[in-house]
Structure 1
Amino acid sequence: MEPILTVSHLQKVYGARGSRTQALTDLSFSVEEGEFTGIMGASGSGKTTLLNCVSTIDRPTGGAITVDGTDLTTLKGRALSRFRRERLGFIFQDCNLLDTLTGFENMALALTILGAAPKAVDRRVREAAGLLGLEGVLDKFPYQMSGGEQQRVAAARAILTRPALVLADEPTGALDSKSAGQLLRQLSALNREEGTTILMVTHDAFTASWCRRILFIKDGTLYRELHRGAMDRKSFFTQILGVVSMLGGDSADVL
């Protein structure tokens, strides 16, 4: 079986001759179906640039990105938009909910755009709400929800189209510790019980400790890889901290 995501010799250069920044340099890795993989790295390492390329927000300078058997670097126009809409799910630090829509309507939006039948939309929204503990916010507007509830609505919206890959960019960055823990438990449950494949960029070791594997990026290339295996989360957290300290301690990203 092919991996859900394959990144092959990826390169990304910003700027023109005389003022060039090499953000990614010959980066290669793969993510299997059902994995929960984290991306970490020091400031300027290129981890957000990587996520931007995988999410098709940015185009790589060289190399290939294959998701669910499709090379994203060959897609353009409507084909690219359709693939992004149907096969990728997104969870951002800013949950990007529409203020004038209820929780139900925000979640249903992705399916409505795809032309799903009303009965199917209702069923799948309520199923996702059940998985993420959101039954109580379906009739609420975003301003009536807590930050954690808003992020879980965004997570539900991301999985409703049953994407091949969910991309999460610092999903706990704007949350307090209690809300962050709740969101991470729900994402972990989605991965474990529903087989949702998740690739998550984070600067935070606690957040990363919920993953099953961590890829550390340094100077635009793969530096080290950690597998959780049979370790408990506390032990994995300690291992992650050790690598972060070798990387300089600061895992915030500027790219």
Structure 2
Amino acid sequence: MNPVLKVENLQKFYKTKGAVTKAVNHISFEVEQGEYIGIMGASGSGKTTLLNCISTIDKATAGQILIQGQNITALSENKLARFRREQLGFIFQDFNLLDTLTGRDNIALALAINGVKPGQISRLIEQVADDLEIKAILDKYPYEMSGGQQQRVACARAIVTKPSLILADEPTGALDSKSAGMLMESLSILNERKKATILMVTHDAFTASHCKRILFIKDGQIFNELVRGEKSRKKFFDEIMQVISFLGGDNNYAF
């Protein structure tokens, strides 16, 4: 079976004042269906650039990115826009909800853009709201929700179209510790019950400890990898902190 995501010898270089910065330098890895992968690294390590290339926000200098066997680095702009809409789900740090729409309508918009029939939209929203325990806030506007509630609505919007891959960029970065914990439990539910495939960039060890595998990026390359396996989340957290310490990180988030 083909992996959901296959990154092959990916490179992203930037030229500034005659110098070349290798933000992503010959990175290769695969993500299988139902995996929950974290990407960690210090500021400037290349982790966000890597995610931006995979999410089609940025264009790779060289190498290939295959999602469900489709080489997205070779797609035209029109085909890429359609692919992004149909195959990818996005969760951002700042939620990106439309303030003039209720939670229900923010989620419905993702379905409507994809051409889902009106009769199916309500049913799909109810299903995902049930999974994420947000039924009580569906008819509230973003300004009436807490940050954690807004982010769970954003999660619902990302998953409701059943994308091949969910990409999360520092999803807990704007949340307090309680809201962050609730969000990570929600993502774990999506991964375990719905077999959602998630690739998440984070600087935070607590957030990363919910993942099943962590890729550590240093100087644009994969430096280390941790697999949770049968370990407890506390044990996995401790291992993550050891690697962060070795890399010279300053993550002090308490478990």
Normalising by structure 2, we get a TM-score of 0.97
Aligned to 1:137: 137
Aligned to 2:210: 210
Aligned to 1:167: 167
Whole-Å separation in 2 of the counterparts to 1:231 and 1:51: 27
Q: Secondary structure of 1:15's partner?
A: strand
Whole-Å separation in 2 of the counterparts to 1:16 and 1:170: 27
User: Aligned ranges for residues 2-151 of structure 1 at < 5 Å?
Assistant: 2-15=2-15, 18-151=18-151
Deviation of 1:78 (Å): 1.2
After superposition, the C-alpha distances for 1:7-53 in whole angstroms (9 at most, x for unaligned) are 11000001257222110111000000000000001121100000000
Whole-Å separation in 1 of the counterparts to 2:126 and 2:76: 34
Whole-Å separation in 2 of the counterparts to 1:10 and 1:246: 25
The answer to which structure, 1 or 2, has the higher relative contact order (CA under 8 A, 6+ apart) is 1
Q: List 4+ stretches of structure 1 deviating above 2 A.
A: none
Deviation of 1:250 (Å): 3.9
Whole-Å separation in 2 of the counterparts to 1:122 and 1:239: 43
| Identical-pair percentage | 61
Whole-Å separation in 2 of the counterparts to 1:65 and 1:177: 34
Whole-Å separation in 2 of the counterparts to 1:42 and 1:112: 38
Whole-Å separation in 2 of the counterparts to 1:19 and 1:120: 53
Which residues of structure 2 form unaligned runs of 5+? none
Whole-Å separation in 1 of the counterparts to 2:247 and 2:44: 11
Q: Secondary structure of 1:20's partner?
A: strand
What residue identity is the alignment partner of 2:180?
A
Q: Secondary structure of 1:59's partner?
A: coil
What residue identity is the alignment partner of 1:103?
G
Normalising by structure 1, we get a TM-score of 0.97
What residue identity is the alignment partner of 1:192?
E
Aligned to 1:249: 249
Which residues of structure 1 form unaligned runs of 5+? none
- The answer as to whether partners of 1:43 and 1:250 remain within 8 angstroms in 2 is no
- What RMSD in Å do the two structures reach over aligned CA positions? 0.9
After superposition, the C-alpha distances for 1:152-195 in whole angstroms (9 at most, x for unaligned) are 00000001110000000000000000000000001001000100
